[in-house]
Structure 1
Amino acid sequence: MGRLSRRAFALAALSTLAMAGDAGAASARRPRATTEMRGMWLATVTNRDWPSRTGLTAAQQRAELFAHLDAAARRRLNTVILQVRPTADALWPSPYEPWSQYLTGTQGRDPGWDPLGTAIAEAHARGLQLHAWFNPLRVAVHPDPSRLIASHPARRHPDWVVPYGGKLYYNPGLPEVRTFVLDAMLDAVAKYPIDAVHFDDYFYPYPIAGHAFDDDEAYDTHGGAFSNRADWRRDNINRLVRDMAARIKQIRPGTRFGISPFGVWRNASTDPRGSDTRALQSYDEIYADTRRWVRENWIDYICPQLYWHIGNSAADYAKLVPWWADVARGSATQLYVGEALYRAGDPAQAAAWQDPAELSRHLTYARDHPEVRGHVYFAAREVAADDFGAMARVVADHYQQSATPPR
C-alpha cells in the first residue's frame, strides 16, 4: 500500500469522522423493530379488569371482552395475556376444576359460553396473539375451604391445601399436587390453539411477618435429599416449571411457555451474581430461581415485572434492565419487560410516576439493550382508559407502526 501525504491523511480522517457521524445519526433515526412484544395483561381475579363485575349476561361479558381486545389493537399492541385460571378454577369447560366465580358470581355455574375459546378466536381475528395466563398454586383469595364448591378438588383433598395470610394455596411440595395442577392447566392447551402458556410471579406465597407456610409434613416425607427446606422448595418449583415446559411441547409443540416473575432474583449484597438492588429476592423468599430458568433454557420467554421507576433507590429500572439483559444474553429465552402502567398518575406513587412520560422513557432506555424484545403492560383496564395519558405517550413515541410478536 502506498504512503499517504499528510493532507490526504487528514482528508481521509475527516471523511471517516463524517461517515461515523452519519452512522450515528442514522442509528438515532432508526425505526423501532417491526418484530417485538407489545402485550397487556387482562386480569380476571377479583374482577380486576374483566368482567367488570359478576352477574353480567353472556352478551355483556362478550361485549366487554371484545372492547378490551379492540383497545389492545387500537394501541398497536399485538398480544393479550388473559388470566384463565385465577384461583384453581377455569374460564373454559374443564373436567378438572369448576367454572370461575368471577364470571357469574357463583363458583361452578356455567356462564353459558366459552370465554377462552371465544377470546382466542376474537384475538386472532384482530391480529392479536392470545397467551393463556394460569396461576398454578393459588386456590382462593379467602381462607375458608367451605366457601369452595363441594366438588372442588381442594375440598376433596384437604391435605393438598395450606392456608396462609388469609388465602388458600396448593402445596407444591406434594408430587400429587404438581401432577394435578399440570393436568388441569394442560387441559386448556390440549383443547385450544393457545399461542402461549403464561405463569406470573405467584409460586410459594410472598412472605408475611409472623406467618409460616406449614409444609412440615411434606418436607419430612419428600425432602430427604435436601440439606435444607429452602433448596427443597426451590426444587419443587423448578420441577413444576420444567415439567410444564416438557408437557406443553408434547401436547402442542407450537405453543410457547413464558413466565413473568418478580423483578429481582437476588441482591448483589447476597449473591455477587445478583442485581444492584435492595429488594425482596424471589430466589430466597418465594423460592423462584428465575435466573436458572433462563440460563438453562427451560422457558421460551421471561417477562420480569420491573415495576419501579428510573432512579428508584431500592430497585432502579435502569439497573435491572441491563441485569436481565445480561442474564438473557446467549440463552434461548427471550426477554420482555413487564411495565407498571397502573402506577402512572397514581398520587400514592413516587414523583416520577406523576409524569406521563415515565413509561415512554422506560422504552427509550430499553432500546439500548438488544436483548429486550418488547414490553407488557399491567393492565388492560389502564390500557383502555388511560386517564393519565401514559399509554398514549408510549404509543405516540414508540408504536407509530404495527409490530408482530417474536416467535
Structure 2
Amino acid sequence: MTDRGHRRIGRPLIATTAIALLTGTAAYTFGPDARAEQGARGSAAAAKTTAKTGGRTGGKATQARSSAAASCPTSARFPKRQLRGVWIATVRNLDWPSRPGLSRDRQRAEYLRILDNAVKRRLNAVFVQVRPASDALYRSSLEPWSQWLTGTAGRDPGWDPLPFLVEEAHKRGLEFHAWFNPYRAAESAASELPPGHPARSHPDWTVKHEGGLYYNPGLPQVRDWVTRVVTDVVRRYDVDGVHFDDYFYPYPGKGTRFADQAAFKKYGNGMKLADWRRDNVNKLVGQVSAAVREAKPYVKFGISPFGIWRNKKEDPSGSNTSGMSAYDSIYADAKAWIKARSVDYVMPQLYWPRGFSAAAYEELLPWWAGAVKGTGVDLYIGQALYRVGSADTPAWRKAGELPSHLTLNRKYPEVGGDVYFSARYLVSNPLSVLDRIVSQHYQRPALLPLPERFEAKPPAAPRGVRHANGTLSWEARPDARAYAVYRAPAGKTGGAAAAASSACVTADARNLVAIVPASDAPSYAAGGSGAYYVTTLDRLGNESTPAPAR
C-alpha cells in the first residue's frame, strides 16, 4: 500500500510464477505494497461483535443489556464493527493530488471527490500518505515540503493541507490515518535534496542502494528521527491513526548488498546480520508505538506488512506459500509485533487471487487469522482493488474475484475489515466491482472496530430523541464523535422484553440505517416505519446504550 507497496507483489514472487501476477513499471506506483506498480463472520463472529460493541463496563443496566445482546441472533452478513478503508497515495501523484502545482482549490476539490466516493461506498476510514520519502504534505519544521504538492521539493504550497484533509474526513464520518514511509530518504539517490533536508544535514544516516536513498535502520539516530517526525504529526494534528506500509529494508532487486556493514559492526552485539536487521525494525516499531501512545493514547498504530511472513519450507509455522518472505527478505517480522502488541492492528497486503499457486488468498487468510487469534491485535486485509480488470491474470478479469475474498473473510471472526488500494480505483470502479461489494457486503453502515487496549467506557446516551414529521432529532452531546441510528421493524420492540429487545435491535448492523457525524445537525430523515433508536459514539468508538425515539 505504499506508493510502491502495492506493486510489490510482483518481484517477491518472481521466483515462483509471480511474474504472471504483476506487470512491470516502477515499484512505486501501486501503493501499499503490492509492487503493483511493477506489475507484481456465524456464532463466533457474533460473539466477537458483541464483545466490541461498548457496554463492557458500567452499571447493572448496562451489564443486563450486554447480557441480553449476547443472546441475540446476529448475522455475519451484517457485522456491526468493521473497518472499511482506502489508501490515498501521494507519491508520484498516484491518487492525490493528480499532479504537482495545482491550485489550492483544485487540490481540495480532488480530495473531496475521493472522500465523497468513499462515503458513497460506505467506507469509514482513509489512510493518507503524509510522508512519502522524508518529506511532508503538511507544514513541518523537521522535513521539507513534498515535491508532489508543488513540483519542487521544499517549495511552500501556500497552505497546510493536513488540517483540511483531516477535518473533511471527519465531517464525513471517516477516520483519518496518517501514513508514513519510515526509511525512504529520497525517491532517488540522484535527487537534489533541498536545504534543511535531514539526509543533507546527516549524510551519515543514509545508504545509497540500487539507485535509491534510504535511512539506515541500524542507526539509533534514525529510529529517534523517525519517531520524532511521527510524534510531531500526532501532537499537532487531529489524526486518528498512524500507519506504516511494508517498506522497511529495501525489497530484493539486483542482489546488491545493503551497505550497512559499519553500523552492523558497531551495533551488532554478536548477532547474526539477519537477526540484527529484524531487531532494528522491531525496535523502531516498539519505539514509535510507545511514543504515539504517550502523546495521544487514543491514536491507533498499525502496519500493513507484505502478505507472506514466511513460507512453510522456511519455517513450519509459516504459510503454505512459495513467494518472497518478508521475514527473510526485508527483515519485517509481523509475528514479533503481534506478540509484543506494539501494534493495534496488522493489515497484510493479500494481493493475490484465489487459486494462485505461489500465494493463494485462501491459504494466506487463515494463516493471518491464526497469527492474531487471542492476541488482542486486530486483523484487517489489504485488498488489491488496483488489480481488478488487469489483463495479465485471468482471476482478476472476473468482477466476482474481489467480492469473493470478503465472502471468505466471514468464515474467520478474526478478520475485522478490509482496506483497498487505492483511491484512484475507488473513483474509477473497475468492472463495477465496488457496486458488487456494496450490494453483497456493505448493505449497511458499520461502526469502527474498538481496539482491545482502548478503555471500554460507553458515553452517555443521547437525550431528547424525537421522531416527528419524518425527522428524527436529538440533543447534541459534547463528547460525541458521531451518532448511530437504528430502525427496528414494526412489531419487534416493546412489551415486557423492551430492554432485551432494544439490545437485540443494536446487536449487529442489520437495523443500522445511518451513522451521523457529530459535525452534522443531530437529526436524520427517518422515512421508514418502525421504532427508532439512537446511540452516541465517542472518538474511541465506544457506543452508548440505545435511546428510543418518542
TM above 0.5:
yes
SS where residue 163 of structure 1 aligns?
strand
SS where residue 389 of structure 1 aligns?
helix
Show the counterpart of 2:210: 165
Q: Is the 8 A contact 1:42 1:80 kept in 2?
A: yes
2:120 & 2:400 partners in 1: Cα distance? 20
The letter for the 2-side match of 1:154 is: A
1:140 paired to 2:183? no
Deviations 1:255-276 (A, max 9, x none): 0101001000000111001000
1:169 & 1:83 partners in 2: Cα distance? 18
Alignment map for 1:289-300 (pairs within 5 Å): 289-300=333-344
Give the alignment partner of residue 181 of structure 1, picking from 226, 229, 232: 226
Alignment map for 1:105-116 (pairs within 5 Å): 105-116=151-162
Q: Is the 8 A contact 1:86 1:138 kept in 2?
A: yes
CA-atom RMSD in angstroms:
1.3
2:402 & 2:73 partners in 1: Cα distance? 22
Q: Is the 8 A contact 1:45 1:102 kept in 2?
A: yes
User: By how many angstroms is 1:29 displaced?
Assistant: 6.4
Give the alignment partner of residue 308 of structure 1, picking from 331, 343, 352: 352
Range with bigger deviation, 289-298 or 375-384: 289-298
1:332 paired to 2:376? yes
Alignment map for 1:256-335 (pairs within 5 Å): 256-335=300-379
User: By how many angstroms is 1:186 displaced?
Assistant: 1.3
The 4+ residue runs of structure 1 with deviation greater than 3 A are 26-31
Change (3 A) 1:30 1:368: closer
Q: Is the 8 A contact 1:336 1:374 kept in 2?
A: yes
1:229 & 1:84 partners in 2: Cα distance? 31
Show the counterpart of 1:3: none
Q: Structure 2 regions of 5+ residues with no counterpart?
A: 1-71, 451-550
1:392 paired to 2:438? no
TM-score (norm 1): 0.91
Give the alignment partner of residue 147 of structure 2, picking from 66, 80, 101: 101
Show the counterpart of 2:265: 220
Q: Is the 8 A contact 1:296 1:331 kept in 2?
A: no
Q: Is the 8 A contact 2:230 2:288 kept in 1?
A: no
Show the counterpart of 2:411: 368
SS where residue 268 of structure 1 aligns?
coil
User: By how many angstroms is 1:203 displaced?
Assistant: 0.4
Show the counterpart of 1:192: 237
Show the counterpart of 1:83: 129
- The percent identity for this pair of structures is 51
Hey, which of these two has a bigger chunk of helix by percent?
1
Show the counterpart of 2:516: none
Range with bigger deviation, 172-181 or 385-394: 385-394
Q: Is the 8 A contact 1:164 1:213 kept in 2?
A: yes
Q: Is the 8 A contact 2:136 2:145 kept in 1?
A: yes
Deviations 1:123-145 (A, max 9, x none): 00000000000000011221215
1:105 & 1:317 partners in 2: Cα distance? 39
Alignment map for 1:192-211 (pairs within 5 Å): 192-211=237-256
The letter for the 1-side match of 2:95 is: D
1:27 & 1:284 partners in 2: Cα distance? 45
1:379 paired to 2:425? no
Range with bigger deviation, 335-344 or 293-302: 293-302
User: By how many angstroms is 1:297 displaced?
Assistant: 1.3
Q: Is the 8 A contact 1:100 1:107 kept in 2?
A: yes
TM-score (norm 2): 0.68
The letter for the 1-side match of 2:408 is: Y
Show the counterpart of 1:237: 281
Show the counterpart of 1:150: 195
User: By how many angstroms is 1:28 displaced?
Assistant: 10
Show the counterpart of 2:296: 252
Q: Is the 8 A contact 1:295 1:327 kept in 2?
A: no
Show the counterpart of 2:402: 359
1:71 & 1:396 partners in 2: Cα distance? 15
2:407 & 2:159 partners in 1: Cα distance? 42
Q: Structure 1 regions of 5+ residues with no counterpart?
A: 1-25
SS where residue 382 of structure 2 aligns?
strand
The letter for the 1-side match of 2:88 is: L
Show the counterpart of 1:403: 446
The letter for the 1-side match of 2:256 is: H
1:353 & 1:49 partners in 2: Cα distance? 21
Deviations 1:308-327 (A, max 9, x none): 00111000100100000001
